[in-house]
Amino acid sequence: MLRVPYVGRFAPSPTGPLHFGSLVAALASWLDARHCGGRWLLRMEDLDQPRVMPAAADTILRQLEACALQWDGPVLYQSARLELYRAALEKLRARSYPCACTRKELEDSSLAIDGARIYPGTCRTGLTPGKSRRAGRTAFAVRLRTGADPIRFVDRVQGAIEQCVERDVGDFVLRRADGVFAYQLAVVVDDAAQGVTDVVRGADLLDSTARQIHLQRLLGIATPRYLHVPVATNAAGEKLSKQTCATDARPEDLPRALRFLGMDVPAEALRMQPRELLDWASKHWNAARIPRDRTIALEG
Residues engaged in binding ligand GLU (CB under 6 A): 11-13, 45, 187, 201, 205
Nearer to ligand GLU, 7 or 187 (CB): 187
Nearer to ligand GLU, 41 or 99 (CB): 41
Q: What is the C-alpha to C-alpha distance for residues 226 and 22, in angstroms, rounded to an integer?
A: 17
Q: Least distance (Å) from ligand GLU to the CB of residue 177?
A: 21
Nearer to ligand GLU, 69 or 99 (CB): 69
Nearer to ligand GLU, 71 or 97 (CB): 71
Q: What is the C-alpha to C-alpha distance for residues 192 and 186, in angstroms, rounded to an integer?
A: 10
Q: Least distance (Å) from ligand GLU to the CB of residue 200?
A: 8
Q: What is the C-alpha to C-alpha distance for residues 210 and 149, in angstroms, rounded to an integer?
A: 11
Nearer to ligand GLU, 11 or 67 (CB): 11
By the 8 A CB rule, do 182 and 176 touch? Answer: yes
Q: Least distance (Å) from ligand GLU to the CB of residue 270?
A: 29
Nearer to ligand GLU, 185 or 281 (CB): 185
Q: Least distance (Å) from ligand GLU to the CB of residue 13?
A: 4
By the 8 A CB rule, do 34 and 282 touch? Answer: yes
Q: Is 229 exposed, middle or buried (0-12, 13-18, 19+ CB in 10 A)?
A: buried
Pairing of strands 198-202, 173-175: unpaired
Q: Least distance (Å) from ligand GLU to the CB of residue 10?
A: 7
Q: Least distance (Å) from ligand GLU to the CB of residue 274?
A: 22
Strands (E) located in the chain: 7-10, 39-44, 76-77, 96-99, 141-144, 151-155, 159-163, 173-175, 198-202, 225-229, 231-233, 295-297
Q: Least distance (Å) from ligand GLU to the CB of residue 44?
A: 9
By the 8 A CB rule, do 11 and 237 touch? Answer: no
DSSP string of 219-265, one letter each residue:
HT-PPPEEEEEPEEE-TTSPBPSTTTTPPBP-GGGHHHHHHHTT---
Nearer to ligand GLU, 11 or 257 (CB): 11
